[in-house]
Structure 1
Amino acid sequence: MAYFQPDSSQINTLYEQYVPKIQPSDILTIVVTAADPKVTAPFNPMSTMISGSITQQTDMALRPTYTVDEKGNIVLPMLGEVHVAGMTRTQAIQKLRLDLSKYIKDPGVNINFNNFRISVLGEVARPGSFIMPTERVTVLEALGMAGDLTIRGVRQNVMLIREIDGQKTMHRLDLTQQNTLNSPYYYLVQNDVIYVEPNKSQINNSKLGANTNVIISIAGLIITVISVLTR
């Protein structure tokens, strides 16, 4: 099945135009660093739990996380409420560095999404939800994690469901057209849902399967009644 068949369109997709923004209910991992680790202790409340023998995986699990509330704020030690909704990860880092500079000289800040989840449903090999290690994710990468579309999936009408500020919107993508690479929905944001609908043949087969069971049941009942009456 051919994807992105060439046409006259120019490919000019820029990720910077579609960088995911922080939204309410996002969970952010925030780590503050400095030349003197002691001064960062109030801003890394879980750091006291980390020992020298701890593994990197456990270290990541123990790093402090902050949930963005419905007003778009997080609450950090000493800084109090900080509004981050609507910002990109880079913008939030710059803001926190500026705020922290009142307490720490040349602070370093690292922010990561802790719940950047994408769901892929429908006619794919392995439907499910996937936690992404980075926020730079394309439709193709999400479909690849789900094992690609099956032969019964409609590639010309893939649905993307996106929620921004509590509002859900639906968008259609034609994976057979090169121009789809220019779509503003080619890059995904957190909580996007991709749905691949089945083709007509698969729909008809499903209907046939359900109807066949009913027909067989009725036929079996009729044969039983006839055999009883003709004894």
Structure 2
Amino acid sequence: MKKNLLLIILLPLVILQSCTTRKEMLYLQDVDKYANTNLNYVSTKIQTNDILKIEVGDLNPVVAAPFNISSGSASAQSSVEMMKLSGYLVTPKGFVMMPILNEIKVGGLTPTEAEVVIKNRLINEGYLVNPTVQVRVLNNKFTILGEVNAPGVIPFTEESISVLDAIGLAKDLTYSAIRKDIQLIREQDGKRLVYHIDLTTAHWMSNPNFRIRQNDVIVVTPNKLKANSGGLIKDPLQVLGIAASLLAIILLIAK
């Protein structure tokens, strides 16, 4: 009788332990197959509510000064948060308001394209002869939700980062995360795009659309065990621990 009771209790534990297989857990299992492949990058476009740093330069700094917003002291210039406060906010219609030049349409352009537009305005309108223009987005960020160890809104300074970089910034996926279907949500050209990424393969890594850009949202869904538990179970190993404790109690009672 005791042996049958033990088998009845242990059988679900064995099944539970085998629910998550090695193939479902490991990242980039076929990465060697994609070694030495070409890398493709796509420049990100300026969006509504972006905060831009626009610097106009010239051989004579005095003539370029009126086209720049004063950032205050050197210590303030080194603070990204202070630069955001003094940066150019892109309006819903894609414009920024610059000194003297007034409204300039930059929405939908890459930072490099925006630099060309501003430079041409300065030259064609007779303000500067050979200016330099630098445009940079100051408030790059992405949101990551679900089965990661540190969900939230995470800033980054690069123009774009990889999905693996984003997961690393979120302190990796939890044990309960479904690695075969990571959702990437992006708003682009007035449309909402949804991509699905299988992290167990390296096939997606050559796709430039899977570079994380400004305002992207990553959603990591939980496996069935975590979802069905309503969030009470943080880790399948937690279930094994509880079951083992119950087994010990039952065996003590049976004696």
Q: For the superposition of Structure 1 and Structure 2, which TM-score range results when normalised by the shorter chain?
A: 0.7 to 0.9
Structure 2: distance between partners of 1:19 and 1:137? 11
Query: Kindly tell me: are residues 151 and 74 of structure 1, through their superposed partners in 2, closer, same or farther at Cα, counting changes over 3 Å?
Result: same
The one of 162, 165, 181 equivalent to 1:141 is 165
Cα RMSD between the aligned structures? Answer: 2.4
Residue 14 in 1 paired to residue 14 in 2?
A: no
Q: Deviations over 1:184-214 (max 9, x none)?
A: 43212211000100011211333777xxxxx
1:94 aligned to 2:116? yes
Q: What CA distance in whole angstroms lies between the structure 2 residues aligned with 1:196 and 1:59?
A: 29
Q: Which residue of 1 aligns with 2:106?
A: 84
Q: Distance in 1 between matches of 2:80 and 2:175?
A: 42
Work out the CA distance in 2 between the residues paired with 1:163 and 1:74.
20
C-alpha separation in 1, matches of 2:81 and 2:230: 45
Q: For residue 82 of structure 2, what is the amino acid of its counterpart?
A: A
| Equivalent of 1:180 in 204, 211, 215 | 204
Identity %: 37
- 1:14 is matched by which residue type in structure 2? N
Name the SS for the 1:201 alignment partner: helix
Residue in structure 2 matching 1:110, options 115, 134, 148: 134
User: Matches of 2:145 and 2:80 in 1, distance apart?
Assistant: 33
What is the SS of the residue equivalent to 1:155? strand
Distance of 1:179 and 1:28 partners within structure 2? 34
In structure 2, how many angstroms separate the alpha carbons of the residues matched to 1:144 and 1:59? 22
Q: Counterpart of 1:180 in 2: which secondary structure?
A: helix
Alignment check: 8 A CA contact 2:58 2:130 kept: yes
For 1:134 and 1:9, locate their aligned partners in 2 and report how far apart those are by CA, in whole Å.
25
Q: Which residue of 2 aligns with 1:165?
A: 189
Matches of 2:29 and 2:54, distance apart in 1: 42
Q: What TM-score do you get using the length of structure 1 for normalisation? A: 0.79
Query: Aligned partner of 1:131: which letter?
Result: P
3-state SS of paired residue (1:103): coil
- The answer for the alignment partner of 1:57 in structure 2 is 78
Among 148, 151, 157, which residue is 1:127 paired with? Answer: 151
Residue 142 of structure 1 aligns to a residue whose secondary structure is: helix
Aligned partner letter, 2:52: L
Q: Secondary structure at the match of 2:135?
A: strand
Q: Distance in 1 between matches of 2:96 and 2:120?
A: 16
Aligned to 2:29: 5
The one-letter code matched in structure 2 to 1:71 is K
Cα distance, 1:153 vs structure 2: 0.6
Report the CA distance shift for 1:82/1:202 in structure 2 as closer, same or farther (over 3 A): same
- Residues 62 and 133 of structure 1: CA distance in aligned 2, closer, same or farther (over 3 Å): closer
2:223 to 196, 199, 203: 199
- 2-structure distance, mates of 1:88, 1:185: 15
TM-score for both structures, normalised by structure 2: 0.72
Is residue 46–residue 62 contact of structure 1 (8 Å, CA) maintained in 2? Answer: no
Q: Which residue number in structure 2 is paired with residue 36 of structure 1?
A: 60
**What corresponds to 2:249 in structure 1?**
none
Conservation of the 8 A alpha-carbon contact between 1:93 and 1:110: yes
Bigger shift: 86-95 or 56-65?
Answer: 56-65
Structure 2, unaligned stretches of length 5 or more? 1-24, 234-255
User: Which amino acid is the alignment partner of residue 40 of structure 2?
Assistant: L
